[in-house]
Structure 1
Amino acid sequence: MTIAKTILKSGLALCAGLALFAALPAEAQQKFNLKFNHVLGPKEPFHDGFLAWSKAVEARTNGGLKIDVFHSSQLGKEEDIIEQIRQGANLGQNTDSARMGNYVPGIAVMNGPYFVETLEDVAKLRKAPTVIKWQDELASKHGLKVVSFSWVQGYRHFFTNKPVKTPDDLKGLRIRTPPAPIWQESIRALGATPVAMGFGDMYPGLQQRAIDGVELVYNNIPGGRFYEVLKFANETRHIMLINFEVVSAKWFDGLPKDYQTALLEEADKAGEATSKEIFRLEAEVEQQLKGRGMTIVEDVNLDAFRKAGEKAYEVLNILEAKKAVHKEIGK
């Protein structure tokens, strides 16, 4: 056999092999798995939202990318999971810009007092050049890929055993909040003494009077049975709780491009649907809490709280970052 014929035969064999590989069913091709962790309970709207996201991604990738959802911090503490994500693990975490601010300080503004107050404003943030720049920095310098921040958990309010209508009413009260600087300074600026405490430690903390109250969204209250140890829901609406879904930038970059697109687009879709459902449910939760003996304080001086909240941005030196993003979204 001549060299030319040998080359031709080898070429035909290679083409046949490539054609055979292309024809392989999806289950025979490479598969990817993401283990997604969150701190909330299985009855929270976010959990159902994450399951819907998982189902949509698996269907869109023909089973090539599967997301396993773990509620109640089953995979571990949030901060520990984030560090594993930075190292390239196939993990995901529902978190917030407050914690992302530990890596890129400016992005913490998105969880600051009265930063945005509508879902329309949150949608505008996705195209804000400054926000895009922060996300790029998180991925390139810190290994954290933001998949979506379209997940809004509602407004955070103060839940206490005394009525709160002005910042002065919070003086002397120890209020549980997460340990990130923007959370701590926000609660301090609004008049209370912030106490860092894990989500699962709040109920016993209230029982033992280690804390005087919490600041959470309405949908957290029934799941945590906080109505048993707190009397007042004070509608301060001091933070619209934007959540971030993050994965490893290294892991994400290793996905096929169409899988990347599916992961991102379906996260935004599920997040928007879940956010709308949460706001719809808030009125129902209010009525449930009233039925369980809680008093809803609606006549809160929001202007006084908005003015007080500015101090948090000043203390953390992120006031200019806030102004820049507000200008970009026309707020």
Structure 2
Amino acid sequence: MNIKAKILAPFLIAAIPMAAMANDYTLKVSMSVGEKDPMFAGAQYLKTNVEKRTDGHLKVEIFPSGQLGSVEGVQEMAMFGQNVAAITDSGRLSVFSKEIGVIGVAYAAKDYDEMKKIVETDLFKSWEKKLEKEGLHVLSFNWFQGSRSFMTNKPVNKPEDLNGMLIRTPGSAVWSESISALGATPTALPWAETYPAMQQGVVDGFEAQLPATIAASLQETIKYVAETEHFQLMTALVAGEEWFSSLPKEYQKILLEESSKAGAYASDITNKNIADYKRTMEEDYNVKFIPVDKTPFIARAKTVFKKLGYEKEYKELQDALK
């Protein structure tokens, strides 16, 4: 080693720990919906602001249309420490925090405003915290995807019209039991497989929100939308607790703040564009919207709270809203 190298060596060695402190981190955000969906726009908003506030040291990569796998699969990856996050629903999270599943029961909330109030209560936040013990960390629970209704090729005006109809829905118990109570036969399919399933007649219909339907071009496969609005689909952006805890405290704070802002941004797009989505489906695809009487559907849904043991949680949420 020459004299210059000997002189510089201690300084180079001393500099290594400081360089190690400037670690870069990457979060891969997964969603089942496509790039035309407001959730994708929300994720882009998240990416821009997180990377700006961390000078690019915390990067956000976005994977729409289930590119990283199923929502359940990505949740599991997160639980085992991988640098992934999923936009997921209360039904899928109820496997790890049972109480949180109550908002996934049909007609748990009458509209977006009521659902927004529910997820902001201290009670609901306490249920979110339980997920951390299971290896999941809720970054924000305010990604509103819209009201879900039945989309079919036969008109549906009342629950009895759904009898014998095979309806695609996510596979969690709160979803399946709700759809069954409303009169249909639920069948679990990945969202990406719904289009070919409709084309091939594997299912008779599906239940979904308008933004996701258009993003997946599923309006091409239906003739009717029964406006039951049975689910107010408020979803969460959830990462792994192990990965989240590995971030510097300042990055944790930034990620939580920007996730909340991004969820609000995506929700705002959803709500502002609902009328346009409906108009597009009616005028460009001749889809007929049926303004059903929700009363008999709501009556049937009440049985699900009891069947799944959610009567206590539902009452607690209603009390929390007062």
Structures share a fold, TM > 0.5?
Answer: yes
Aligned to 1:96: 89
Are positions 1:256 and 2:244 aligned together?
no
Q: Map residues 57-206 of structure 1 onto 2, 5 A cutoff.
A: 57-140=50-133, 142-206=134-198
Residues 125/64 of structure 1: CA separation in 2 closer, same or farther (3 Å cut): farther
* Partner of residue 53, structure 1: 46
- In 2, distance between residues paired with 1:51 and 1:204? 28
Compared CA separation, residues 156 and 127, structure 1 to 2 (3 A): closer
Distance in 2 of aligned mates of 1:203 and 1:126: 32
Deviations 1:46-79, CA, capped at 9 Å, x for gaps: 1111011111111112222111111111112221
Match of 2:221 among 212, 220, 229: 229
SS of the residue 1:76 aligns to: coil
Kindly indicate whether the alpha-carbon contact (under 8 Å) linking 2:152 and 2:205 is maintained by their aligned counterparts in 1.
yes
Cα deviation, 1:161-182, whole Å, max 9, x if unaligned, reads 1221221221111111011000
One-letter code of the match for 1:64?
H
> Residue 42 of structure 1 aligns with which residue?
35
Query: Which whole-Å CA distance do the structure 1 matches of 2:215 and 2:269 have between them?
Result: 16
Partner SS state of residue 66, structure 2: coil
Distance 1:315 1:263 in 2: 38
Alignment match, 1:217: 209
TM-score by length of 1: 0.88
* Cα distance between partner residues in 1 of 2:318 and 2:51: 36
What's 1:5 paired with?
A: none
- The answer to whether the 8 A contact 2:112-2:232 is kept is no
Structure 2 length as normaliser, TM-score?
0.91
Whether contact under 8 Å (1:44, 1:219) holds in the other structure is: yes
SS of residue matched to 1:93: strand
Instruction: Determine the C-alpha separation between the residues in 2 that align with 1:71 and 1:268.
Output: 19
Q: Which amino acid aligns with 1:48?
A: A
For the 8 Å contact 2:66–2:192, the answer to whether it is kept is: no
Aligned residues of 2:228 and 2:294 also touching (Cα < 8 A): yes
2:4 corresponds to: none
Is residue 322 of structure 1 aligned with residue 300 of structure 2?
no
Q: How far apart are residue 94 of structure 1 and its match?
A: 0.9
- Structure 1 distance, partners of 2:217, 2:176, is 24
The CA RMSD over aligned residues, in Å, is: 2.0
Structure 2 counterpart of 1:164, one-letter code: V
Residues 260, 126 of structure 1: alpha-carbon distance in 2 compared, 3 angstrom cutoff: farther
1:197 Cα offset (Å): 1.0
Q: Are the equivalent residues in 2 in contact too, given 1:162–1:231 (CA < 8 A)?
A: yes
Residues 289 and 242 from structure 1, CA distance in 2 versus in 1: closer, same or farther, beyond 3 angstroms? Answer: same
Q: Distance in 1 between matches of 2:56 and 2:293?
A: 51
Q: Which runs of 5+ in 1 are unaligned?
A: 1-12
Task: Give deviations 1:178-214, integer Å, cap 9, x for gaps.
Answer: 1100000010111111111111111121122221110
Deviation at 1:272, TM superposition (A): 1.0
Q: Contact (CA 8 Å) 2:115, 2:232: kept in 1 or not?
A: no
Give the AA of the match of 1:113. Answer: A
Deviation at 1:156, TM superposition (A): 0.1
Give structure 2 stretches of 5+ with no counterpart: 1-9
**Counterpart selection for 2:233 from 241, 247, 263:** 241
Residues 282 and 77 (structure 1), Cα distance of their counterparts in 2 relative to 1, 3 Å cut: same
Q: Deviations over 1:79-128 (max 9, x none)?
A: 11111111111111111110001112111112211112344333333442
